[in-house]
Amino acid sequence: MLSGSRSVAVVKVLVFADITDPWSYIGATRFERAAAMFSILTGEPVELTYRAFQLDPDAPNDGRRLMDVNADELGGADKAELINVQVTAAAKITGIDLNFDEAVRANSFDAWRLLTWADEAGPGFQRDLLHQLWRAHFLEGADIGDPFALATRAALVGLELETAEALLASTEYADEVRTQVATGEAIGITQLPYVVIEQQWTLSGIHSQNDYVQALHQIYGEWQAAPPTTEPPTTDEPPPAG
């Protein structure tokens, strides 16, 4: 345990991210490793829960090559390639392989419905499925807007295939995902990933793994030093972005 006036059974963390955002993939991976290191060093477990923040909620599920989409949006293939090189380099340092030549455009809404269900299925399912979907989207060229692709990835992490298929054929968890996205918009998220620690402290955008570890230590120290007047909040509502 860290020294201080009190301790908690678990440090609760919300991470707003998007499946179609490579920086979310890189930053979340770094934060997960930092959280694991923090737990080893302090003995304090960290519970991560992911929440949806769609960068392009109106994106069509048209299967168009992401390179072509980015070229149109950024003003040319050269600019798109330059950004892809930068992102790929940052991913490589983190131990992540990306292949933008294979990636296709997709809307992440249904994937987030599946991830919200996975969060309720038990510890680890949401995280494992999220990484399966990131890998599918950014490396394998899978269409994560396709229900079959989503359901098969759910089965790969141990979730029931038939249940996943039924969920995707319905509107189940749609309201929950809309609420998650609306919450992110209301608190003013501008960069992903957006990390909320114990409903009080926030980390916006991508950082190095060491910076995340240091931030966790600093934040936890501040929380430990605070007067133990109340228990840590249990609400899922994060604070406004600072």
Cis amide leading into 232 (omega within 30): no
Number of structural domains found in the chain: 1
Domain assignment of residue 137, yes or no: yes
Domain assignment of residue 5, yes or no: no
Q: Which one-letter DSSP state was computed for residue 214?
A: H
Report yes or no on whether pTM surpasses 0.85.
yes
Print pLDDT tens along the chain (242 aa).
Answer: 333 334 557 899 999 999 999 999 999 999 999 999 999 999 999 999 999 999 999 999 999 999 999 999 989 999 999 999 999 999 999 999 999 999 999 999 999 999 999 999 998 999 999 999 999 999 999 999 999 999 999 999 999 999 999 999 999 999 999 999 999 999 999 999 999 999 999 999 999 999 999 999 999 888 888 765 444 333 355 655 55
Domain assignment of residue 145, yes or no: yes
- Alpha-carbon distance 34 to 49, whole Å? 15
Domain assignment of residue 239, yes or no: no
Domain assignment of residue 125, yes or no: yes
Domain assignment of residue 107, yes or no: yes
By the 10 Å C-beta count (0-12 exposed, 13-18 middle, 19+ buried), 191 is classed as: middle
Instruction: Residue 162: give the domain boundaries.
Output: 11-225
Domain assignment of residue 6, yes or no: no
- CATH number for position 169: 3.40.30.10
